[in-house]
Amino acid sequence: MAIPIFQVDAFAEEPFKGNPAGVCLLAAPADAAWMQNVAAEMNVAETAFTLAEGDGFRLRWFTPKVEVKLCGHATLATAHILYERGILAPDREARFQTLSGLLTARRDGGLIELDFPARPPLPKPPEWADAVVGALGIKPVYIGMSAEDVLFEAADEEAVRSIKPDFATLRSLPARGVIVTSRSSDKRFDFVSRFFAPAVGVDEDPVTGSSHTVLVPYWAKRLGRTSFTASQASARGGVLYLRLEGDRVRIAGSAVTVIRGEILV
């Protein structure tokens, strides 16, 4: 039986922007090794696999190399496909059981809004912070560690955009990835960021929902605010609309389907 699969550009209002994600609609449970092979074949930052379960869906995410615990853009892409294909009514909330617990998504006008756990940075920098500084080649305003990622604040947006990381060093660190951020020089945005994750097979992620579960509580504390518009300063670029609500982060964006197909094996 052929299995439907899609490629969706998440956090994008037009094709070929934002972050491409694979979305595979399963009719029955699938073997993890098979899902990993499909993700390697898709060869985008993450491929999501979703299966109807109870009052919602089981959802898992794989990079071309490993399964990950949390992925924002592929969750947005999955919700987009469920709404677009009529699997979920426009006014229904999408409920996903994941390795990070229950995550939800809902339509909000032309956007889809995700409800994710906030993951503020830990109080102390990692012991190997000097290796991060060396790999990025710029001085930090702040450097800290979240549950999975290093958070690095640079002096300004020009510094963020000019980074050419030493990926071999970043790949060797005991972290999923490195988030680099600064205030935005563009008045439309509150802050910008880039995300490097060579340890999980993604040198630079175009737009990263999960990194904003760290960025939002960080900038909320720095700026004394709870609502933000952010830009991810990758080559493809993307825009995220963000709110901090207690220990949760609301992450909203657009998505566009660019490929529809079937897995035949």
User: What pLDDT sits at residue 152?
Assistant: 97
User: What pLDDT sits at residue 5?
Assistant: 98
User: What pLDDT sits at residue 45?
Assistant: 94
Residues of the chain whose pLDDT is less than 70?
Answer: none
User: What pLDDT sits at residue 161?
Assistant: 98
User: What pLDDT sits at residue 147?
Assistant: 87
Query: Is domain 3-115+251-263 annotated with CATH 3.40.50.300?
Result: no
State the catalytic residues: 46
Helix runs in the chain, H state only: 32-42, 72-84, 129-136, 157-162, 167-172, 212-223
User: What pLDDT sits at residue 23?
Assistant: 98
Alpha-carbon radius of gyration of the chain: 18
Q: CATH 3.10.310.10 in the chain: give the residue spans.
A: 3-115+251-263, 129-246
Per the structure block, which two tokens stand in for 162? 């000019």
Select from 1.10.760.10, 3.10.310.10, 3.30.365.10, 3.40.50.450 the CATH code of 129-246.
Answer: 3.10.310.10
